[in-house]
Structure 1
Amino acid sequence: MCGRYSLTVTLEQLLSRFELGNVHFRLEAGYNIAPGQLIPAIIEDNEGNRRIGRLLWGFIPSWTKVPNPKPVINARAETIAEKPSFRESFRRKRCLIPADSFYEWKAADHGKQPMRIMKTNGELFAFAGIYDTWVTPEGERQSSCAIVTTAASSWMDPIHHRMPVILPGPSSEAKWLDRSTPIGHWQDMASMLAEDKWKAYPVSKSIGNVKNNSPSCIEPITQE
């Protein structure tokens, strides 16, 4: 699964990397982004124009009557095209979720150790995501999203058996936003990521508390 990530770049870096215009919200550094928060996400309209906004991380299908009290934060690539909760969003409402790292907990003798996983050059990348918009009984619109996950690649498997679907670059990001691209193209996406372009290192267990959101969250430590 993917339950924590970071996005610590400047607004200018984000707009340049994803070829975006202006944003209508304040971008703050997120060292410990968690479910239940409003997160930056990129969508594409029917004319192919991209825009960025904030979506609630915790997927709520448009047809639901009462939201699940336990947020659905991930959608499995293996079943996304068939599962009733996700299939319509997969067909019509895909998004990019920008990040510069994500966290996973690795089993260790001293208990689970949080690891930060990022590109060796520190560059931005994007998770494949889906979104939907639910209308509350009071008539308010709530747009929410989930990160697509898949089986871990060989370099990720020693840390965790699942990982987010990370799109290798701009061309793959464009294809993901193209609604005509089938899911089979993405299920093995993790294996396409070169092992030597990624690194992982241990970080403080304080990352487990969503209230902690400071540069200390991304600082490497010796094994706790």
Structure 2
Amino acid sequence: MAVPPSRLSAIFQIMCGRFAFFSPIPKLANKVGATVPEHASGPRYNVAPGTWITAVRQEEDDSAPLFDTMWWGYRPRWAKGSGNQPINARVETVATNGYFKGAFARHRCLIPADGWYEWVKNTSPKQPHFICRADREPLFFAGIFAERDDGSLGCAVLTEPARGSAADVHDRMPLILDDDSLTHWLAPDITDRETIRRLVGHIDADLIKHWAVSTAVNNPSEGQGEELINPV
């Protein structure tokens, strides 16, 4: 079940809470050395928390990365259904926070996207902006995941202080990994915090671009089409 829109509006004001994903899976699979899945979801221009999303993970040291479906909302099995289901984890504390640190060490994933939405503060109605790479190449958000009570996987997107033009819109942004970091982020044999930080880097801030888009994106139950990312 999706998170009700009434709750979503509060979530979105915190950090990265909505994104678009429409790049072809084969193109992404080639970047991370993953097998193209037999079945893949179609393009989504308004991906909301509390829904099933596409992610990439690696099970064993010598295995190829695989595409999987995860619930956007992180709550590990050991929380026994009583813990929060955050959609984001702050990069500054994810390695030490008791709720996240196990996943940071052993269960890291990539969340493919083509851009994300943030809302300019103090506007009425809230004015969304679409933020992406200036060259429109796909992105990989750094994520963590855990097995949930029902045996499915749930994930959270890591966020960092906003950089480049993204800071015009919001003070946080997803941690977007550069191409050289993708295999290191997925590698299950790399568990040491400092090693991960040494091997993993984010994309150059100069690559980030944004523009205002229609307020139709504000309601995920209504706005889902390709026109959502068009400048207004």
TM-score with structure 2 setting the length: 0.83
What SS is found at the alignment partner of 2:77? Answer: coil
Aligned to 1:5: 19
Count of matched residue positions in the alignment of Structure 1 and Structure 2: 212
Superposition map of 1:80-91 within 5 A: 80-91=94-105
Q: Tell me the CA shift for residue 180 of structure 1.
A: 3.2
AA aligned opposite 2:183: A
In angstroms, what is the RMSD of aligned CA positions?
2.1
With the length of structure 1 as denominator, give the TM-score of the two structures.
0.86
User: 73, 78, 81: which is aligned to 2:92?
Assistant: 78
Q: 5+ residue gaps in structure 1?
A: none
Structure 1 letter corresponding to 2:184: K
CA apart distance, 1:10: 2.2
Q: Compare the two structures and name the one with the higher strand fraction.
A: 1
**Residues 64-107 of structure 1, C-alpha deviations (whole Å, 9 max, x = no match):** 11244x63100011111111110100011000001111111112
Deviation, structure 1 residue 9: 1.6
Q: How does 1:31-110 map to 2 (within 5 A)?
A: 31-46=45-60, 47-68=62-83, 71-107=85-121, 109-110=123-124
Task: Give distance in 2, aligned partners of 1:62 and 1:72.
Answer: 14
Q: Does 1:175 align with 2:157?
A: no
SS of residue paired to 1:166: coil
Taking structure 1 as reference, are residues 189 and 113 closer, same or farther at Cα in structure 2, changes over 3 Å only? farther
**TM-aligned CA deviation for residue 159 of structure 1:** 1.0
Unaligned residue ranges in structure 2 (runs of 5+): 1-14
Per residue, is there more helix in 1 or in 2?
Answer: 2
* Partner of residue 193, structure 1: 204
Alignment of 1:127-142 (within 5 A): 127-136=141-150, 141-142=151-152
- Corresponding residue SS for 2:27: helix
Following TM superposition, the consecutive aligned residue runs of length 4 or more in structure 1 with deviations greater than 6 angstroms are none
Deviation at residue 44 of structure 1 after TM alignment: 1.1
1:144 equivalent to 2:158? Answer no
Q: How does 1:19-38 map to 2 (within 5 A)?
A: 19-38=33-52
Q: C-alpha separation between the residues in 2 aligned to 1:208 and 1:109?
A: 13
What are the within-5 Å matches in structure 2 for residues 183-222 of structure 1?
185=197, 189=201, 193-195=204-206, 197-211=207-221, 212-221=223-232
**Identical amino acids, percent of aligned pairs:** 31
Which deviates the most, 44-53 or 143-152?
A: 44-53
